[in-house]
């Protein structure tokens, strides 16, 4: 199935569109299942989206008692560190809306990467797999919505070009060293991300145009263009792009 591509006028239009997707899917999931499970992204574009979601009228239309938040990746820093994806989401969203703290499942970036990954995988198992037998059947977490960004090297979450995490087929979460950044990261794997009911990429700016073109129009090579590894089984991903990010796509 081909991805859905929605080109927004500018970054503000993209922010509004993404925030509306979040609110609309929250309402639908809560009505259908009694809860809304979301996997959050880090980065500047998601920050703007979270701020808008936390503002009226969108925030007032969401039953935050039934929203459960997770993360697609995290830097290996404490939660209060300026580089923390959790801190960004807390400042833009969690500290503003009335979401219960026990509905928030962050990655413990202050731990060694491999331990943080193992503990987060256990957290996902406990939340999504109610019976041990289900775990043995190879079940995966099923987020109602996964939000993702895109780096100018075509990485998404902390799935960077050439890293083993892209080809991981058993684990849901891995901790690994990203040599180009000289840093450790914890990331959900494609195995986990592709089990989402809905995936939305949010990409803005001309610096991302080349990566967008490679991922959407280039040869299939996830080791070079990791965002290509995100192919959810339930529905094709939605790409929310501003005009600058979409500039190298054919009309």
| pLDDT reported for residue 224 | 98
Does the residue 248 lie in any domain? Answer: no
Distance (Å, whole) CA 41 – CA 148: 5
| pLDDT reported for residue 131 | 41
Residue 44, beta-bridge partner list? none
Does the residue 134 lie in any domain? Answer: yes
Each residue's pLDDT tens digit, 73-117: 999 999 999 999 999 999 999 999 999 999 999 999 999 999 999
Structural domain that includes position 221: 4-206+213-242
| pLDDT reported for residue 130 | 63
Number of residues assigned to the chain: 251
Total domain count, the chain: 1
List of the chain residues with pLDDT < 50? 131-137
| pLDDT reported for residue 1 | 73
| Burial classification of residue 110, based on how many CB atoms lie within 10 Å of its CB (0-12 exposed, 13-18 middle, 19 or more buried) | middle
Does the residue 250 lie in any domain? Answer: no
| Burial classification of residue 242, based on how many CB atoms lie within 10 Å of its CB (0-12 exposed, 13-18 middle, 19 or more buried) | buried
End-to-end CA distance of the chain: 19
Does the residue 30 lie in any domain? Answer: yes
| pLDDT reported for residue 247 | 97
CATH number (domain holding residue 120): 3.40.50.1360
pTM exceeds 0.75: yes
Q: To which residue do tokens 């509905």 refer?
A: 103
């Amino acid at each position: 199935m081909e991805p859905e591509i929605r080109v927004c006028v500018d970054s503000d239009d993209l922010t509004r569109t993404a925030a509306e997707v979040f609110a609309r899917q929250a309402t639908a999931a809560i009505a259908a299942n009694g809860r809304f499970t979301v996997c959050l992204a880090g980065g500047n574009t998601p920050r703007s989206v979270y701020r808008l979601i936390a503002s009226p009228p969108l925030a007032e239309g969401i039953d935050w008692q039934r929203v459960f938040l997770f993360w697609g990746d995290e830097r290996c820093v404490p939660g209060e560190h300026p580089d923390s994806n959790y801190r960004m989401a807390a400042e833009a969203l969690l500290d503003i809306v009335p979401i219960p703290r026990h509905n928030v499942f962050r990655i413990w970036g202050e731990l060694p990467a491999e331990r943080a990954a193992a503990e987060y995988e256990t957290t996902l198992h406990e939340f999504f797999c109610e019976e041990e037998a289900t775990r043995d059947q190879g079940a995966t977490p099923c987020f109602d919505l996964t939000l993702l960004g895109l780096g100018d090297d075509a990485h998404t979450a902390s799935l960077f070009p050439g890293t083993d995490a892209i080809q991981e087929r058993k684990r849901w979460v891995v901790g690994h060293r990203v040599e180009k950044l000289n840093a450790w990261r914890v990331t959900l794997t494609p195995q986990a991300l592709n089990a989402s009911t809905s995936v939305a990429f949010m990409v803005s700016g001309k610096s991302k145009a080349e990566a967008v073109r490679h991922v959407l129009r280039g040869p299939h090579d996830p080791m070079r263009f990791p965002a290509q590894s995100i192919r959810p089984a339930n529905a094709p991903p939605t790409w929310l792009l501003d005009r600058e990010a979409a500039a190298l796509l054919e009309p």
